[in-house]
Amino acid sequence: DTGVSQNPRHKITKRGQNVTFRCDPISEHNRLYWYRQTLGQGPEFLTYFQNEAQLEKSRLLSDRFSAERPKGSFSTLEIQRTEQGDSAMYLCASSLTGSEQYFGPGTRLTVT
Amino acid sequence: QKEVEQNSGPLSVPEGAIASLNCTYSDRGSQSFFWYRQYSGKSPELIMFIYSNGDKEDGRFTAQLNKASQYVSLLIRDSQPSDSATYLCAGDAYSGYSTLTFGKGTMLLVSP
């Protein structure tokens, strides 16, 4: 039983560059969530997919952020024109039932 | 704004003692509550969830929910140094999509 995987684990980028992260959920899980966590804070919800449909987006998700889940399998989160405030841990979680969510190891983004 | 509140701690307990972690929430529509453990630099790990008023026990862990008081707690019996971590409380948003609202977490330190 493989868990949620995320790549890359770490990303350092310069301000203004675009970055893309990938999440592979647990294989039978049709629900996928993206969260962002900064130091000293709990994770904050960004967006939710059920199969390939993006059903909910947080107001935190500015128009520089876009997420996809083609074919309802893996998901990508892209940040365009990164800003220093985007530096955070980006967490992906998947769920079968919509209740218990299991997190991947996260992608730590540092914007210099 | 829907909030989950936790004391940031640290909560210090000696090895073998009972650690009591508390959480309050503002969204009366939340149905389910979750406790995650997060070691420094790692992603959250689900340890307990509770839907109904009362107690739910799983090994050394007991979750307690009081919906009238909007209060959730986690008791850890026979605390071990390996339990030292940040404990995140989360409630689901009653949107049908089960997106989670997290508290900031309580740091637990168990001394040998």
Residue A97 has a pLDDT of: 81
Residues in chain B with CB shorter than 8 Å from the CB of A35 are 100
Count of A–B CB contacts within 8 Å? 60
Taking 90 as the threshold, does the pLDDT of residue B81 lie above it? yes
Q: Which residues contact B41 (CB under 8 A, 6 or more apart)?
A: none
Instruction: Pull the structure tokens for residue B15.
Output: 């090895």
Q: What percent of chain B has pLDDT over 90?
A: 81
Residue B87 has a pLDDT of: 98
For B1-47, the pLDDT digits (tens) are 678 999 988 999 999 999 999 999 998 888 899 999 999 999 999 99
Which of A33, A55, A99 has the CB atom closest to B49's CB atom? A99
Side by side, the strands of the sheet bearing B4-5 are: B4-5, B19-25, B71-76, B61-66, B54-58
What is the Cα Rg of chain B in Å? 13
Taking 70 as the threshold, does the pLDDT of residue B96 lie above it? no
Residue A71 near residue A91, CB atoms below 8 Å: no
Q: A55 CB near a chain B CB, below 8 Å?
A: yes
Q: Which 7-26 residues of chain B touch chain A by CB within 8 A? A: 8
Give pLDDT < 50 ranges for chain A: none
What are φ and ψ of residue A15, in 5° steps? -50, 135
